[in-house]
Amino acid sequence: MVRGEKVQQFDLIVIGSGSGLDVANAIAQQGLKVAIIEKGPLGGTCLNRGCIPSKMLIHSADVVETINSAHLFGIKTKGYEIDFASIVSRVNEIVDNDAKAIENGLKGIDNPLLFKEECKFISHKTLQVGQETLKAEKILIASGGRPKIPNIEGLMESGFITSDEALRLKTQPKVLTILGGGYIAAELAHFFGSLGTRINIVHRHRLLIPNEDEEVANAFTEIYRQRYKIFTGFQATKVSKKGEDYEVSIISIDGNESTTLRSDQLLIATGRTPDSDELDIDKTNVKTDQQGFIITNEYLETNVKGVFALGDAVGHFLFKHSANLEAQYDFNNILDPQKKIAIDYTAMPHAIFGSPQIAGVGKTERELRAERADYVVGRYNYIDTAMGEAIEDRTGFVKILLDGKTRKILGCHIMGTDASTLIHEVLVAMKSGDGSARNLTRTVHIHPALSEVVARAASNIQIHAHDE
């Protein structure tokens, strides 16, 4: 391929190098001519600004928590020292090397052909990429998203950070104010707080992580309230900078309380928004919803035939594993449009790597009540198992929501040690056989492994637990 042609024609153009890169490589291996466009580091949000660096950093916080709880197990530690710069530099060196390795691998080949530029649609299925024009009958938009910034007086000129910058800070904040109370706030509060930063969290909802099952959100909020200064039911009205310090004016939603928080760092963690607005996709007639997410059908195809999307650009689920799933369907539906397959999101899980960990799948009890569903609850505490007692997890529990008649698993919510791992037992049960709790209760569990808590939850049915 010789660059600089008036219009370069491809069979497929992929915008974004996260899960979109998997589709680009797979389609290219089928002999079709593919372009991959990426304005930033290769590997997408997860590798560079999301799940990979954040979880690596959080592991350092988990290690600190292990040290701090060692006395519970008869181990006396003589202290330790936090080398914050080393923690961050280790993670970013690994991430940057991985991104560079992906880029170097693509630079040596012509298919898929890498364009390291910003791009915008200029007409139907036609993109301006730097100084060049690319066109294809099929296009995959996997452009990802970015932190959403709220409209608060003084915020834009204050020098705040988002999760993007928080993962690369070279100096540990002494006091960190976080605006937002979702999963990003929960995870970064754990990271910085466990390393010794004093944390303020301001969240307009009554509970932190409010999209979780209410019992989980209640328990999690109370645990964090014991460690950090939590202002739930509050919103920020003004941000100002006094020297090196931030002053954040907050007021309760009911207007009865107000105060000013001071900190040396301010983190905005109020959600994410898609990058579709930066692509001028209206020039190729692709429709978006009111939040800017690209509207797709069950085949992940937009209203424009031959234009597909996935991941944060679509916003069905803002997870890397959901984007990977969508990439598999996009590959099939782009390659074989006569045999398109509707995507199956059954048992799509999620996890929050705070402390404690949270994991969930399926319906919450709040949703089932709203639907007036006939359901029962299976519940069990970690501490009531042998391994739960061994590891001193006194707040963890597993909650399984089952159809009242068939005992089919409708949802599962776990808070506690290794929740992100334990949930997989339930995922397999939901996808296999009849999808019922019998898949859990009939399985022999190793004693005294922690996974016993899942099996016992499935057996410990509370018929009237949801009656109100």
Residue spans per domain, the chain: 8-146+273-339, 163-270, 356-462
Q: Mean pLDDT of all residues in the chain? A: 95
User: Is 205 one of the catalytic residues?
Assistant: no
Strands (DSSP E) contained in 192-332 are 198-203, 229-232, 234-242, 245-252, 258-263, 265-268, 272-274, 307-309
Note the maximum CA span of the chain.
73
Architecture of the domain spanning 8-146+273-339: 3-Layer(bba) Sandwich (3.50)
CA angle 322, 328, 334 (to 5 degrees): 125
**pLDDT surpassing 60 at residue 289:** yes
**pLDDT surpassing 80 at residue 3:** no
What does the block give as tokens for 25? 């490589």
**pLDDT surpassing 60 at residue 466:** no
User: Is the fold of 8-146+273-339 the same as that of 163-270?
Assistant: yes
pTM above the 0.75 mark? yes
CATH code of the domain occupying 163-270: 3.50.50.60
> Which of 190, 350, 445, 447 is flagged as catalytic?
447
**pLDDT surpassing 60 at residue 257:** yes
Give, in order, the Cα–Cα distances in Å from 325 to each of 22, 316, 331, 349: 11, 12, 10, 12
User: Nearest-CA neighbor of 136 among 119, 158, 151, 159?
Assistant: 119
Cβ atoms of 15 and 121 closer than 8 Å: no
DSSP state of 146: E
Mean pLDDT, residues 272-284: 94
Topology annotation, domain 356-462:
Enolase-like; domain 1 (3.30.390)
Give, in order, the Cα–Cα distances in Å from 322 to each of 44, 310, 327, 421: 14, 9, 9, 17
Confidence bin at 464 (pLDDT 50/70/90): low
Confidence bin at 468 (pLDDT 50/70/90): very low
